[in-house]
Structure 1
């Protein structure tokens, strides 16, 4: 079974022949890769890069196809070339981390030239309207509950853990959930709204504190399994599960929590999302978010860029910067009052997920997912780990409170601006 867009199958099998553009793409690639601490090895034994004998190796198998894909689709083509086997590596995370670290410092002139030259645009159908968001979520979270069970811990938590000194992945996931609930001041009798149910672990954990929880998702598969997990945990009387978009949520709650859901909102709907947080939390209540972030200058560039991750993993997704979260929150009448970075914890979380995913290859295959899918997700998990490893990506737990009145945003209000 393949899960990538149907219009990609032909191009993966037969890369577009663009000889002039492919020649230029090769020159730009060599210019970008030459100064990096890796070895890029070509057929015949020639290589470029500044890596030593022990450096990670990117081995080009089919140079013509690699550069055709880059010529046709830019950075998307680079990922597609890995999916198609045009290049391999001794250490995928390390190779991708080296390329990503260059982006963390700046976009060099060859990379800017390549982006201006190719610049794929996001499909209109992936806009996060109510219907579009449901379709986008379906393409990732409704793949198969059994697939996610193959590599997540027993809590079925698909977001960064928070590791203590002696924590395994499961303990670290529960610690992360408790951190969010603490930021939201969830205690016995609290009314809690969760935007983005996942598979129900946070709702169950909040119910164990004595809270009354309403949790919502637009993933049919997550909703079904979360409902079963809530029943099995004996929390059915304390947790109400809704198959509903956040934009239609009603009520007023002591606490609103949302873990790694804002990434799926889309830039044009950020104001509506943060306004919903303000509308749904009572005065004096708390909002607790966990959000993946990127540097602000990169976010401004990526808002208008269509990426491999968006095409193959998270359609409609868009990361914010920490500064943009502060800005959107302030404009909506919320104030960030506390925060902690878990970027290093996410690198470790992703490393454990990827190891589990690899170890469960036979189980994933038995579920009907083919080799192309395995390579796609291997690239996704490795790319994400590399991004957190070099600090290009970060993830924050944030506490917000509701203002009694709106306060104009100023850039100096964004404390802790690392991403």
Structure 2
């Protein structure tokens, strides 16, 4: 009996330790009402929280990463993404903050492309071009919350049906976005889509980051950026790629060793910087298309020690230095967002790919689903 008691006691201790270990590694998912759109549509907010305190809040409107909390080297938490405090602002003043972009991220020249001999005209919401889906894209649709689950990885799944002809695009598309946060605070975003006829799809997340914390008075241009890309795609005055892959060697576009974003940002002797009003360019990642997400960028605020690594399966990364933030956007906590207050790092197919045969194709066919996996991995450099 004495031995049996010892065995039972040992078993109880072991079971308790397993429970504590499981609890320590758990990531929690919760959901709550986020308010209503102007037409009465109810919006849901899902918050994923990791064991280390990192958390991500996603709105069903736009499947939007509304908030991303990360610690500095002293454990102080800050929201590292720009955005709004109110749902009504996301609806009335959309600016892609943290949104899921589709059907096609970035620009398509003239809002036109030809597929199998048929030319399709999209809305032109960026002068003569179509940008991020044409103004009524995935970023301003209320996605359905399919499932929310806690566990070693907290997860939220969102879905959207885009009908044939939506914003001029062919094919009925069923899109899905899955946000997953593990116990270490790595946020995985998986985009998937199917179509019933040939079309083009290019989905990404449009979070705009400041690793010092959104609204930091010094802005984000002293964040140190590293991008493992030996080439970028130069643009014309309308910010449409020329089709060239240009070497970054010896130019302000060389981020391979890491440098503050501010370096070269205002170089008026560089025509590319003049066209973009700073950096607003696609980088051709050395890794190309990969089955598993690989490093596309590393962004660090040296003062706080906060680090963001962006990983992706896609071949390109759009780097945008917030050049069109003009002081008219009042964001979180009443912060007035100005030029250089944030940096977008958007994994993607190259801009205007449907019109460039030498770029990786964005074509998606029936029976061959679209898939893009990206990861935002936060850490601290001590």
TM-score by length of 1: 0.25
Higher helix share: 1
Instruction: Tell me the TM-score normalized by structure 2.
Output: 0.27
